[in-house]
Structure formats: C-alpha cells, structure tokens
Chain A
Amino acid sequence: MKKTMMMLAAFWAVLLLSQNAGAEVIKADGSSTVFPITEAVAEEFGKASGGTKVMVGISGTGGGFKRFCRGETDISDASRPIKSSEVATCKAAGIQYVELPVAFDGLAVMVNKENTWVDHLTVAELKKIWEPGAQGMVTKWSQVRDGFPDVEIRLFGPGTDSGTFDYFTEVINGKGGSSRGDYTASEDDNVLVEGIASDKGSIGYFGLAYYEQNKDKLKLVAVDDEKAGNGEGPIEPSMETVKNGTYQPLARPIFIYVSKDAMKRQKVQDFVNYYLDHAVALVEEVGYIPLPADAYEAGKNRFANGVPGTVFSGISTAGMSIADIVRMEK
C-alpha cells in the first residue's frame, strides 16, 4: 500500500514538473469565424517548419478571450476587437498582447429559397426584425414592410458567445449583445443553414464564407444602409463588395491577438510572422477577404516592435472599411 502511494506521488510529481516542458505546443483558440484561417496557417506552418505543433480551438470569440486572459492560450482568434471588459480582465491577470487584423469578413443575411418577396432589406428593417423589443411582437413578415405576405418569421442566428452575434447586434440594433432572444441560436453554422432551408418564412445571418459553400440551399439578401456615400441602394455581399467597402455595415475586420509572454518563444514568433507573410493567399483560399499587402507589413512591424494593446478601445468598428483599418493600424 505504501509503495502504491509513493508511486502515485511520484507520478504526480513528474506530471507537474513536466508541465513547463509542454510549452512546445503553440495554442490558439477563439472565434469559429477565424478558425479556418488560423487552421490553414497552422497546417502550412506545420509542414514548412518540420512539424511544429500548433493546435487551434473553437471556443467562440468571447470564450477564447476568457481563456486568453487566464494565460491558457498563446493566440486568441477574434471576429471583433477585444471588449473593454476583456481588456480589464487581461490587465488584471497581467496579460499583455499585440493586436493584428488578419482579414475582412462579410456577414450574410439569408432567407429561404422559396421566399419570393424579399430581394433586399434595409438596415432599419433588419433592426425591426432583430431588436430586443421585437421579441414576441414582430412575428409576421407583413409587419416588416407593407406588401410583405402574412407569413410567420422564423429566426436563426449564432449564439451569444459568438463574435458574429456581437458584431451583428452592434451594427444593426445599435448595441453589442442586445438582441431578441426568441430565435434559434447555434454555434454550428450548418444547423443555421438547415434551419433556414427548411422553412419558407426563415431568415438568419452568418459569415459570408459559409454562404459561399451553401449557395444552392439559400437565398442571399442584399442590404441597403440608406447612406449614399458608400454605394447607393441595396448591395449584395460578395468578395468584391466587401473589398471595395460598398457592402456596409455588415462587413468587419477579424483579428488575432498574440500574448506578449508567448512572443518570447521563437516558435510563436515564427508562426505569427508566417501567418502575416502567407495571409493573402491563405485567407482567400478559405473564403475570406485579405487585407492589402501593406496592412500585413504594418502588422509585422507592430508585432516586431511588440506594440501592446488595442487601437479600438472605446471605438466601434461598425462601418469601418478596409482602408480605415489600415490607417488606424499605422
């Protein structure tokens, strides 16, 4: 018995001691939107560097920052800038970080294929459908616009841990996180696709890259922000309209955040530099819109100099174009 106890104790000791040796793995976690990009980079970097271990998790942007600010991960994938509450958590834990925009993404609003009445919606109409006050009140399409039929609306969208949810609610409802609650929420975009495809009165939103793969099942809705400055009238999201800034306001920058502690490790530095060097090709391959090449150069400079913190403290990215992001970063 004594022997067994000693062996157990020894096992435990070795286990705890070898914990620091485990730092060889580069740990990234966070947004499911950014996941395909980081995954692609991890895969290519793994090959190019002769088997460096990179793991990429999917905890949602908010879930990713919770882990990041606890020091559990090296890189946090985020489909929105870090929130001031998260800035405070990180600060309290002594975690410093460098913020790097890596791509642009469009949010697509979709309806059922058999929906014949919607060809576009204005931002105001989207707000009418999704604002918290609409809960239990706006239940028929006829309430959205005169002339729409008396068909019941069924709503689908991402869950509250998602950066996509934060961003959509911010630019449409005016406040991040404020949304009606009576909709089908899922972090699994396939569930949303199937849900929207199954009912005539459905509407939902998620990342444009996901729509590209499901074109045959869904109908894309053009969005009109009713501002003349960035392209008049309703505009459909596409690589082109997101890139040239006419698809507004549902286009957004997405980021990675790199912990300054992790930056001390050569492998993490190599990985992030590889990320920024190969972003243009890989971002496009997985269906997102790359930033201009000089934006990645600026990112590399920020990274090399270890410029800490966020440039978005107290500023919303709502309605920002790629050019705006590049300017802020420089």
Chain B
Amino acid sequence: MTRNQWSKFSDRVFQAVGLFTTFFGLAVLAVLLYDVFTDGFSRLNWQFIMSYPSRKPEQAGILAAWGGTIWIMVTTALFAIPIGIGSGIYLEEYARKNRLTNFIEINIANLAGVPSVIYGLLGLAIFARAMKLDRGVITGGMTLGLLVLPVIILSTREALRAVPSSIREASLALGATKWQTVRYQVLPAALANIMTGIILAMSRAIGETAPLIAIGALTYIPFLPTSPVSVSKSAPFVNFTLQGFLDPFTVLPIQIFNWVSRPQKGFLVNAAAGIIVLLLITLFMNAIAIYLRHKNQKRW
C-alpha cells in the first residue's frame, strides 16, 4: 500500500466507525422506545391520565404525578431563572476579572457536575429542616432549582458571550448606561439562546428522581397540591392561596419508580405507560428549545 492508498483506507475506516457509533446511540434509543411502547402503549388512555394512584393497577393513574410535575417545574423555574440569569449577567457583563470571580466561576462549573442526590440532601437539610418548609412543593422545587442553577448560569453566560461586542460598543457610544445596554441591546439579542439553555436544563430536572427521594417524596399521594385560585359561592368569590406550595407532592419519575418496585405485573405496564408520558413531555420541551433556537438565530 502506498502512502496515498493508506490515507484513503484509514479515511474510510474512520467513516465506518463514525457511522457505527452514531447508529449505536440511535439503536439503543430505538430499542428502549420499542420496549416501552410495546409494554405500555395499550395502557395509555384518558382514565390513566386522569386517575389518582391505586393499589389496583388497572385503576391506577398518573394525575397526582403529572400535576405534581407541573407544580415542581413552575416552582423550579420561579426560583432558578431569575437567580440564574441575574448571576449570569453579572459575571459576564459587570464583574471584573480577578481572583474572586475566577474562584466563583470554577465553583459554578464544578457545581454543574455534582451528583443530583447531593442536592437532595442539601435541600432536605436547608429547606425542609432549617427553614422549616417541611417536604412540600416549595422544598422540592427549590432543590431542583439549585440543581439546574449552574447550568442556567453557564448557558446565560455563553449566550451573552455570543453577542458581538460591537453592539455593546455602539450602544455605549450613543450614551446608554451599562444597564441600558444590557437591558435593551444585549439581553434581547441573547434571549433565545438563554431560553434554549433554560428549557434544556428544565427538561433535565423533570426526569430527576434521586434528589426528590432524598427529601422524602416517595409516597402514595392521591391528591393534587391546593390550587392557588379557587372559586367559592360566597364572598370573596375568588380566593387566592399559596398553600399549594407547602402541600406534599409526587412527580412522574417517582411514581414510575414506585410502580417498578411493586410485585404485581400490572404495575410494570403502568410504569411503562408513565415512561411514555414522561418521554413525550421531555421531547415536547426539547422541541420548543430547538424551535426557539432556529426561529431566533441571528447572524452578525
């Protein structure tokens, strides 16, 4: 083999290996989907979606689970998004480069790699015990909020960094203050990428089980957290309450976990059906992220 032939040969080999590794990932996903769908698809119906858990597999449903998942996601978002974007903006636009900010940056990057169960223990110690919030929605939401916070900060910074400095300079040159520049120029330009990062972080949080089990959410819960708005027949007719944030909850991954650990076969079918719903929610969130990225792609 001449040198040239050898180069072409190794090029082909690499291409084949690359193709194989790509399809390997897809094949695993396909097998997983096939397995889950054959097990659980027949169980997916309105009754399953709108029923509370039960000891009888054919009567059990995921209402409390997906309701709880929505409560938790909203709480997580309320907690993590303002803090995450705020610190992202500060670190990228305001902070001076010095030892302290370096130290903070390294720590945030490290935090993103901490195992999720550690966050669960932290949430249990701080939110549930020290702050006496017990083990309700707010504890679960803030715990997951801590979990996604580093990811949101990092993706905010990356999004801001992608905005060309010529835009900042132009704004400042026209006499805008730093805050005005960030508020009216940089942030709008970076928003789509920030949102993408946030949604991807949230779709990771939605599947988390370990930290919520650590704060003790592994339970039979046949009810939803109290609705924040309720209508009554007497004055004041419309009532607002934050009680729901303190109510106990369960979420989809935990409901699935609970069903898988049961002896009856029927619950395994339920678990598969629950997995399908969870997959659909995750795919839906990822689809939104991809849509946002494409729609708002700016070229400078």
Contact = CB atoms under 8 A, between A and B. Distances in A.
Interface of A: 11, 14-16, 18-19, 21-22, 25, 27, 29, 35-36, 39-40, 42-43, 46, 51, 53-59, 67, 72, 188-190, 193, 209-210, 212-214, 286
B223 A190 contact: no
Interface string B206-239: 0000000000101111110000000000000000
If over half of B's interface residues share one DSSP class (helix, strand or loop), that class is named, otherwise mixed; here it is loop
Nearest to B240: A14
B54 interface: yes
B241 A53 contact: no
Interface of B: 54-55, 132-136, 138, 216, 218-223, 241-243, 245-248, 258, 260-264
Given A11-B242, A18-B241, A43 B55 contact: yes
Nearest to A56: B220
Given A36-B55, A43-B55, A72-B134, A56 B219 contact: yes
Contact of B219 (A58, A210, A213): A58
B117 to A, nearest CB: 15
Contact of A22 (B221, B247, B260, B264): B247
| Interface hub of A35, A36, A58 (most chain B Cβ within 10 A) | A58
9 contacts: A11-B242, A18-B241, A19-B134, A25-B223, A35-B220, A42-B220, A42-B222, A55-B223, A188-B261
A68 B55 CA distance: 24
A18 B248 contact: no
B246 A57 contact: no
Contacts of A11: 242
A19 B220 CA distance: 21
A55 B243 contact: no
Contact of B248 (A27, A188, A286): A27
Contact of B218 (A15, A16, A25, A57): A57
Given A46-B222, A51-B223, A213 B264 contact: yes
Given A54-B222, A57-B216, A57-B218, A190 B261 contact: yes
A295 B278 CA distance: 45
A22 to B, nearest CB: 5
Given A42-B222, A43-B54, A15 B245 contact: yes
Given A27-B248, A55-B248, A57-B218, A190 B264 contact: no
B247 A25 contact: yes
Given A39-B55, A190-B263, A19 B246 contact: yes
10 smallest beta-carbon distances between A and B, as pairs: A213-B263, A56-B220, A57-B219, A188-B261, A53-B223, A39-B220, A55-B221, A18-B243, A40-B55, A14-B242
B62 to A, nearest CB: 15
